[in-house]
Protein backbone atom coordinates (compact mmCIF):
# COMPACT_ATOMS: atom_id res chain seq x y z
CA UNK A 1 0.00 0.00 0.00
CA UNK A 2 2.45 2.58 -1.04
CA UNK A 3 0.95 4.60 -3.77
CA UNK A 4 -2.07 6.74 -4.30
CA UNK A 5 -3.63 4.39 -6.85
CA UNK A 6 -3.99 1.59 -4.34
CA UNK A 7 -5.84 3.88 -1.91
CA UNK A 8 -8.19 4.92 -4.71
CA UNK A 9 -8.76 1.30 -5.70
CA UNK A 10 -9.71 0.27 -2.18
CA UNK A 11 -12.06 3.23 -1.64
CA UNK A 12 -13.69 2.69 -5.02
CA UNK A 13 -14.37 -1.02 -4.55
CA UNK A 14 -15.67 -0.58 -0.99
CA UNK A 15 -18.03 2.20 -2.10
CA UNK A 16 -19.29 0.03 -4.92
CA UNK A 17 -19.94 -2.93 -2.63
CA UNK A 18 -21.66 -0.68 -0.05
CA UNK A 19 -24.06 0.65 -2.67
CA UNK A 20 -24.64 -2.83 -4.03
CA UNK A 21 -25.52 -4.01 -0.53
CA UNK A 22 -28.01 -1.14 -0.11
CA UNK A 23 -29.51 -1.90 -3.48
CA UNK A 24 -29.88 -5.66 -3.16
CA UNK A 25 -30.73 -6.07 0.53
CA UNK A 26 -34.37 -5.25 1.21
CA UNK A 27 -34.26 -3.33 4.48
CA UNK A 28 -37.40 -1.18 4.20
CA UNK A 29 -37.14 2.51 5.07
CA UNK A 30 -33.83 2.31 6.93
CA UNK A 31 -30.46 1.71 5.27
CA UNK A 32 -29.28 -1.90 5.27
CA UNK A 33 -26.13 -1.32 7.31
CA UNK A 34 -28.26 0.01 10.18
CA UNK A 35 -30.89 -2.72 9.95
CA UNK A 36 -28.63 -5.77 9.77
CA UNK A 37 -25.49 -5.69 11.87
CA UNK A 38 -23.93 -8.32 9.58
CA UNK A 39 -23.60 -5.69 6.85
CA UNK A 40 -21.16 -3.35 8.63
CA UNK A 41 -19.20 -6.33 9.95
CA UNK A 42 -18.92 -7.74 6.45
CA UNK A 43 -17.93 -4.36 5.00
CA UNK A 44 -15.19 -3.92 7.62
CA UNK A 45 -13.75 -7.39 7.02
CA UNK A 46 -13.99 -6.87 3.28
CA UNK A 47 -12.05 -3.61 3.53
CA UNK A 48 -9.33 -5.26 5.62
CA UNK A 49 -8.98 -8.07 3.09
CA UNK A 50 -8.72 -5.57 0.25
CA UNK A 51 -5.98 -3.66 2.05
CA UNK A 52 -4.14 -6.92 2.71
CA UNK A 53 -4.26 -7.81 -0.98
CA UNK A 54 -2.91 -4.41 -1.94
CA UNK A 55 -0.07 -4.78 0.54
CA UNK A 56 0.76 -8.22 -0.84
CA UNK A 57 0.84 -6.99 -4.44
CA UNK A 58 3.05 -4.08 -3.44
CA UNK A 59 5.56 -6.30 -1.64
CA UNK A 60 5.62 -8.76 -4.52
CA UNK A 61 6.43 -5.90 -6.86
CA UNK A 62 9.24 -4.86 -4.51
CA UNK A 63 10.57 -8.37 -4.49
CA UNK A 64 10.60 -8.80 -8.29
CA UNK A 65 12.18 -5.39 -8.54
CA UNK A 66 14.98 -6.48 -6.21
CA UNK A 67 15.85 -9.68 -8.10
CA UNK A 68 15.58 -8.22 -11.63
CA UNK A 69 18.73 -7.21 -13.52
CA UNK A 70 19.08 -3.64 -14.80
CA UNK A 71 18.51 -4.81 -18.36
CA UNK A 72 15.27 -6.63 -17.44
CA UNK A 73 14.03 -3.56 -15.64
CA UNK A 74 14.66 -1.38 -18.66
CA UNK A 75 12.84 -3.77 -20.96
CA UNK A 76 9.85 -3.82 -18.63
CA UNK A 77 9.75 -0.02 -18.45
CA UNK A 78 9.97 0.22 -22.24
CA UNK A 79 7.04 -2.19 -22.62
CA UNK A 80 4.96 -0.18 -20.20
CA UNK A 81 5.83 3.04 -22.03
CA UNK A 82 4.77 1.64 -25.42
CA UNK A 83 1.56 0.29 -23.96
CA UNK A 84 0.67 3.66 -22.47
CA UNK A 85 1.50 5.46 -25.74
CA UNK A 86 -0.99 3.27 -27.57
CA UNK A 87 -4.01 4.23 -25.47
CA UNK A 88 -6.64 5.65 -27.88
CA UNK A 89 -7.11 9.05 -26.23
CA UNK A 90 -3.40 9.70 -26.18
CA UNK A 91 -3.21 8.85 -29.86
CA UNK A 92 -6.13 11.14 -30.59
CA UNK A 93 -4.53 13.91 -28.56
CA UNK A 94 -1.32 13.72 -30.53
CA UNK A 95 -3.18 13.56 -33.80
CA UNK A 96 -5.19 16.68 -32.97
CA UNK A 97 -2.05 18.59 -31.99
CA UNK A 98 0.14 17.37 -34.88
CA UNK A 99 3.29 18.53 -33.08
CA UNK A 100 6.80 17.53 -33.96
CA UNK A 101 8.49 15.92 -30.98
CA UNK A 102 11.14 18.17 -29.54
CA UNK A 103 13.95 15.93 -30.83
CA UNK A 104 12.74 16.35 -34.44
CA UNK A 105 12.33 20.11 -34.28
CA UNK A 106 15.41 20.58 -36.42
CA UNK A 107 13.44 19.40 -39.45
CA UNK A 108 11.04 22.33 -39.36
CA UNK A 109 13.34 25.09 -38.24
CA UNK A 110 13.29 28.11 -40.56
CA UNK A 111 16.68 29.41 -41.52
CA UNK A 112 16.51 32.94 -40.21
CA UNK A 113 17.95 33.68 -36.86
CA UNK A 114 17.30 36.95 -35.03
CA UNK A 115 19.86 37.33 -32.29
CA UNK A 116 19.44 33.68 -31.43
CA UNK A 117 15.63 33.68 -31.69
CA UNK A 118 14.59 31.06 -34.21
CA UNK A 119 11.25 30.16 -35.74
CA UNK A 120 9.60 26.76 -36.26
CA UNK A 121 7.36 26.05 -39.23
CA UNK A 122 4.75 24.03 -37.34
CA UNK A 123 1.60 22.75 -39.00
CA UNK A 124 -1.57 24.40 -37.83
CA UNK A 125 -3.08 22.17 -35.15
CA UNK A 126 -5.85 20.05 -36.70
CA UNK A 127 -8.27 20.76 -33.81
CA UNK A 128 -8.03 24.44 -34.69
CA UNK A 129 -8.45 23.87 -38.42
CA UNK A 130 -11.52 21.68 -37.91
CA UNK A 131 -13.01 24.37 -35.68
CA UNK A 132 -12.37 26.92 -38.41
CA UNK A 133 -14.08 24.73 -41.05
CA UNK A 134 -17.05 24.43 -38.69
CA UNK A 135 -17.42 28.21 -38.49
CA UNK A 136 -17.42 28.38 -42.31
CA UNK A 137 -20.17 25.77 -42.52
CA UNK A 138 -22.12 27.59 -39.81
CA UNK A 139 -21.78 30.88 -41.69
CA UNK A 140 -23.09 29.37 -44.92
CA UNK A 141 -26.08 27.78 -43.17
CA UNK A 142 -26.79 31.03 -41.34
CA UNK A 143 -26.54 33.15 -44.47
CA UNK A 144 -28.83 30.89 -46.49
CA UNK A 145 -31.35 30.48 -43.68
CA UNK A 146 -31.71 34.07 -42.51
CA UNK A 147 -30.69 36.20 -45.48
CA UNK A 148 -31.83 34.15 -48.44
CA UNK A 149 -34.73 32.03 -47.18
CA UNK A 150 -35.81 34.81 -44.79
CA UNK A 151 -36.29 32.88 -41.55
CA UNK A 152 -37.53 34.88 -38.53
CA UNK A 153 -34.97 36.98 -36.70
CA UNK A 154 -35.20 37.56 -32.96
CA UNK A 155 -37.62 40.46 -33.25
CA UNK A 156 -40.03 38.54 -35.47
CA UNK A 157 -39.80 35.56 -33.13
CA UNK A 158 -40.55 37.81 -30.17
CA UNK A 159 -43.53 39.44 -31.85
CA UNK A 160 -44.96 36.08 -32.82
CA UNK A 161 -44.63 34.69 -29.32
CA UNK A 162 -46.21 37.82 -27.83
CA UNK A 163 -49.16 37.48 -30.20
CA UNK A 164 -49.63 33.86 -29.19
CA UNK A 165 -49.42 34.78 -25.50
CA UNK A 166 -51.98 37.57 -25.94
CA UNK A 167 -54.38 35.21 -27.68
CA UNK A 168 -53.89 32.72 -24.85
CA UNK A 169 -54.72 35.41 -22.27
CA UNK A 170 -57.89 36.37 -24.17
CA UNK A 171 -58.86 32.72 -24.29
CA UNK A 172 -58.22 32.37 -20.57
CA UNK A 173 -60.29 35.45 -19.75
CA UNK A 174 -63.23 33.98 -21.68
CA UNK A 175 -63.22 30.84 -19.59
CA UNK A 176 -62.38 32.58 -16.33
CA UNK A 177 -65.28 35.03 -16.08
CA UNK A 178 -65.74 33.97 -12.48
CA UNK A 179 -62.57 35.86 -11.56
CA UNK A 180 -64.58 39.07 -11.38
CA UNK A 181 -65.03 40.89 -8.05
CA UNK A 182 -66.37 44.24 -6.86
CA UNK A 183 -63.22 46.10 -7.86
CA UNK A 184 -62.89 44.65 -11.37
CA UNK A 185 -66.52 44.25 -12.37
CA UNK A 186 -67.70 46.10 -15.49
CA UNK A 187 -71.22 46.69 -16.74
CA UNK A 188 -72.11 43.71 -18.97
CA UNK A 189 -74.04 45.07 -21.94
CA UNK A 190 -74.26 41.76 -23.82
CA UNK A 191 -77.81 40.53 -24.42
CA UNK A 192 -77.04 37.04 -23.15
CA UNK A 193 -75.61 38.44 -19.91
CA UNK A 194 -78.59 40.73 -19.34
CA UNK A 195 -81.05 37.92 -20.09
CA UNK A 196 -79.21 35.71 -17.59
CA UNK A 197 -79.31 38.60 -15.11
CA UNK A 198 -83.06 39.01 -15.55
CA UNK A 199 -83.56 35.29 -14.94
CA UNK A 200 -81.52 35.44 -11.74
CA UNK A 201 -83.46 38.52 -10.65
CA UNK A 202 -86.84 36.87 -11.37
CA UNK A 203 -85.83 33.75 -9.47
CA UNK A 204 -84.31 35.37 -6.39
CA UNK A 205 -85.10 39.02 -5.99
CA UNK A 206 -88.68 39.84 -7.03
CA UNK A 207 -90.14 38.85 -3.66
CA UNK A 208 -88.62 41.96 -2.13
CA UNK A 209 -87.79 44.22 -5.07
CA UNK A 210 -90.78 43.43 -7.36
CA UNK A 211 -90.51 42.17 -10.92
CA UNK A 212 -90.16 45.70 -12.28
CA UNK A 213 -87.74 46.76 -9.52
CA UNK A 214 -90.31 49.12 -8.02
CA UNK A 215 -89.54 47.92 -4.51
CA UNK A 216 -91.39 46.29 -1.61
CA UNK A 217 -89.51 44.99 1.35
CA UNK A 218 -86.42 46.08 -0.51
CA UNK A 219 -85.88 49.57 -1.92
CA UNK A 220 -86.82 50.86 -5.35
CA UNK A 221 -84.06 49.96 -7.78
CA UNK A 222 -85.22 52.19 -10.65
CA UNK A 223 -84.74 55.65 -9.19
CA UNK A 224 -81.71 57.87 -8.72
CA UNK A 225 -81.59 57.17 -5.00
CA UNK A 226 -79.36 54.52 -3.54
CA UNK A 227 -78.96 53.51 0.10
CA UNK A 228 -75.74 51.59 -0.48
CA UNK A 229 -74.43 53.38 -3.55
CA UNK A 230 -75.26 53.03 -7.23
CA UNK A 231 -73.10 52.10 -10.16
CA UNK A 232 -72.04 48.61 -11.15
CA UNK A 233 -69.31 48.27 -8.52
CA UNK A 234 -71.45 49.32 -5.55
CA UNK A 235 -74.37 47.23 -6.71
CA UNK A 236 -72.13 44.22 -7.19
CA UNK A 237 -70.79 44.71 -3.68
CA UNK A 238 -74.28 45.05 -2.17
CA UNK A 239 -75.53 41.92 -3.89
CA UNK A 240 -72.43 39.95 -2.95
CA UNK A 241 -72.05 41.14 0.63
CA UNK A 242 -75.68 41.98 1.49
CA UNK A 243 -77.22 45.15 2.94
CA UNK A 244 -77.01 46.59 6.42
CA UNK A 245 -77.57 44.14 9.27
CA UNK A 246 -81.16 43.28 10.00
CA UNK A 247 -82.59 44.90 6.85
CA UNK A 248 -83.28 41.63 5.05
CA UNK A 249 -80.87 41.83 2.13
CA UNK A 250 -78.61 38.80 2.46
CA UNK A 251 -75.15 38.25 1.05
CA UNK A 252 -75.76 36.48 -2.25
CA UNK A 253 -72.17 35.40 -2.75
CA UNK A 254 -73.10 32.21 -0.89
CA UNK A 255 -75.57 31.14 -3.57
CA UNK A 256 -74.59 33.09 -6.70
CA UNK A 257 -71.34 32.80 -8.61
CA UNK A 258 -69.36 36.01 -9.18
CA UNK A 259 -70.33 36.08 -12.84
CA UNK A 260 -74.00 35.69 -11.89
CA UNK A 261 -73.73 38.57 -9.46
CA UNK A 262 -72.19 40.65 -12.25
CA UNK A 263 -75.06 39.67 -14.57
CA UNK A 264 -77.85 40.47 -12.13
CA UNK A 265 -76.12 43.72 -11.13
CA UNK A 266 -75.91 44.72 -14.80
CA UNK A 267 -79.56 43.88 -15.22
CA UNK A 268 -80.42 46.12 -12.25
CA UNK A 269 -78.50 48.94 -13.93
CA UNK A 270 -80.82 48.63 -16.93
CA UNK A 271 -83.86 49.13 -14.67
CA UNK A 272 -82.73 52.65 -13.87
CA UNK A 273 -85.07 55.29 -15.27
CA UNK A 274 -87.90 52.86 -15.99
CA UNK A 275 -91.30 53.52 -14.47
CA UNK A 276 -92.50 50.71 -12.21
CA UNK A 277 -96.22 50.07 -11.55
CA UNK A 278 -95.98 50.82 -7.81
CA UNK A 279 -92.76 52.70 -7.21
CA UNK A 280 -91.59 52.77 -3.61
CA UNK A 281 -90.61 56.19 -2.31
CA UNK A 282 -86.96 57.00 -2.82
CA UNK A 283 -84.60 55.92 -0.05
CA UNK A 284 -81.00 56.90 0.46
CA UNK A 285 -79.25 59.56 -1.54
CA UNK A 286 -78.92 60.52 -5.14
CA UNK A 287 -75.87 58.66 -6.38
CA UNK A 288 -73.49 60.32 -8.75
CA UNK A 289 -70.92 58.36 -10.67
CA UNK A 290 -67.63 60.10 -9.94
CA UNK A 291 -66.01 58.49 -12.94
CA UNK A 292 -68.66 59.59 -15.41
CA UNK A 293 -67.39 62.39 -17.64
CA UNK A 294 -70.11 65.07 -17.29
CA UNK A 295 -72.39 65.47 -14.27
CA UNK A 296 -74.99 68.06 -13.43
CA UNK A 297 -76.07 66.62 -10.09
CA UNK A 298 -74.51 68.38 -7.08
CA UNK A 299 -71.23 66.76 -6.16
CA UNK A 300 -71.83 67.17 -2.41
CA UNK A 301 -74.46 64.46 -2.55
CA UNK A 302 -71.73 61.92 -3.15
CA UNK A 303 -70.19 62.48 0.23
CA UNK A 304 -73.48 61.78 1.98
CA UNK A 305 -73.79 58.27 0.56
CA UNK A 306 -73.79 55.69 3.29
CA UNK A 307 -71.12 53.28 2.24
CA UNK A 308 -70.15 53.91 -1.30
CA UNK A 309 -67.24 51.87 -2.48
CA UNK A 310 -64.59 53.82 -4.17
CA UNK A 311 -62.16 52.17 -6.46
C1 LIG B 1 -85.64 39.23 1.59
C2 LIG B 1 -85.84 40.39 0.77
C3 LIG B 1 -84.82 40.69 -0.28
C4 LIG B 1 -84.44 39.87 -1.31
C5 LIG B 1 -84.88 38.45 -1.65
C6 LIG B 1 -83.47 40.65 -2.07
N7 LIG B 1 -83.28 41.88 -1.52
FE8 LIG B 1 -82.09 43.32 -2.21
N9 LIG B 1 -82.58 44.48 -0.63
C10 LIG B 1 -83.46 44.14 0.38
C11 LIG B 1 -83.43 45.17 1.38
C12 LIG B 1 -84.24 45.17 2.65
C13 LIG B 1 -82.49 46.13 0.96
C14 LIG B 1 -82.05 47.39 1.70
C15 LIG B 1 -80.78 47.02 2.45
C16 LIG B 1 -80.32 48.10 3.39
O17 LIG B 1 -81.06 49.03 3.63
O18 LIG B 1 -79.16 47.95 3.84
C19 LIG B 1 -82.00 45.67 -0.32
C20 LIG B 1 -81.05 46.37 -1.06
C21 LIG B 1 -80.64 45.98 -2.29
C22 LIG B 1 -79.79 46.78 -3.12
C23 LIG B 1 -79.21 48.14 -2.78
C24 LIG B 1 -80.23 49.19 -3.04
C25 LIG B 1 -79.76 50.54 -2.61
O26 LIG B 1 -80.57 51.44 -2.60
O27 LIG B 1 -78.55 50.69 -2.32
C28 LIG B 1 -79.59 46.07 -4.27
C29 LIG B 1 -78.74 46.48 -5.46
C30 LIG B 1 -80.30 44.85 -4.13
N31 LIG B 1 -80.95 44.82 -2.93
C32 LIG B 1 -80.29 43.83 -5.07
C33 LIG B 1 -80.88 42.60 -4.86
C34 LIG B 1 -80.74 41.48 -5.75
C35 LIG B 1 -79.93 41.47 -7.05
C36 LIG B 1 -81.44 40.45 -5.22
C37 LIG B 1 -81.57 39.06 -5.76
C38 LIG B 1 -80.38 38.33 -6.05
C39 LIG B 1 -82.00 40.93 -3.99
N40 LIG B 1 -81.66 42.22 -3.80
C41 LIG B 1 -82.82 40.18 -3.20
C42 LIG B 1 -84.21 43.01 0.42
C43 LIG B 1 -84.10 41.94 -0.42
Number of neighbours of residue 307 by Cβ within 10 angstroms: 13
Residue 229 Cα to ligand 1 middle (Å): 12
Could you list the mean pLDDT of each consecutive 10-residue stretch along the chain, which spans 311 residues? 79 93 84 86 94 91 88 89 85 88 86 88 92 97 93 92 93 77 87 94 93 92 92 93 91 91 94 89 86 53 51 49
Q: Whose CA is nearest to atom 15 of ligand 1?
A: 243
Query: 284 near 224, Cβ under 8 Å?
Result: no
Q: What is the pLDDT, as a whole number, of residue 3?
A: 74
Residue 183 Cα to ligand 1 middle (Å): 20
Q: 302 CB under 6 A from ligand 1?
A: no
Q: 252 CB under 6 A from ligand 1?
A: yes
Query: 280 near 220, Cβ under 8 Å?
Result: yes
- Give 285's strand partners: 226
Q: 209 CB under 6 A from ligand 1?
A: yes
How far apart (Å, rounded) are the C-alpha atoms in residues 23 and 110? 64
How far apart (Å, rounded) are the C-alpha atoms in residues 55 and 64? 14
112 — alpha (psi -120 to 50), left (phi > 0) or beta?
beta
| CATH code of the domain occupying 191-304 | 1.10.760.10
Q: What is the pLDDT, as a whole number, of residue 158?
A: 95
Cβ-proximal residues to 69 (8 Å cutoff; 6+ apart), any chain: none
Q: What is the pLDDT, as a whole number, of residue 35?
A: 84
Cβ-proximal residues to 169 (8 Å cutoff; 6+ apart), any chain: none
Give the ligand 1 atom nearest the CA of 256.
Answer: 38
Number of neighbours of residue 161 by Cβ within 10 angstroms: 10
Query: 274 near 213, Cβ under 8 Å?
Result: yes
Q: Whose CA is nearest to atom 5 of ligand 1?
A: 205
**Annotated domain spans of the chain:** 4-92, 191-304
How far apart (Å, rounded) are the C-alpha atoms in residues 13 and 37? 20
Query: 50 near 14, Cβ under 8 Å?
Result: yes
Query: 153 near 146, Cβ under 8 Å?
Result: yes
pTM of the model: 0.50
Q: Whose CA is nearest to atom 43 of ligand 1?
A: 249
Choose the residue to mutate in 199, 219, 306 for probing ligand 1, maximizing ligand atoms within 8 Å of C-beta. Answer: 219
Residue 235 Cα to ligand 1 middle (Å): 9
Number of neighbours of residue 68 by Cβ within 10 angstroms: 13
Q: What is the pLDDT, as a whole number, of residue 228?
A: 93
How far apart (Å, rounded) are the C-alpha atoms in residues 188 and 46? 80
Residue 218 Cα to ligand 1 middle (Å): 5
Amino acid sequence: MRNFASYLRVIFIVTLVTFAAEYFIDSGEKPAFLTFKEVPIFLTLFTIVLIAIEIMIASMNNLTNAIMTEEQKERLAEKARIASENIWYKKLYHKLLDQKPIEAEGEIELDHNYDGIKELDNNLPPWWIYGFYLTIIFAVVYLVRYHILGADNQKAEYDKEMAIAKAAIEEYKKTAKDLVDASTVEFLSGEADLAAGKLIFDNNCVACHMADGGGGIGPNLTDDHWILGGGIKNIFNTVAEGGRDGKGMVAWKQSLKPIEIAQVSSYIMTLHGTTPANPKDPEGDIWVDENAPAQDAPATEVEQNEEPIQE
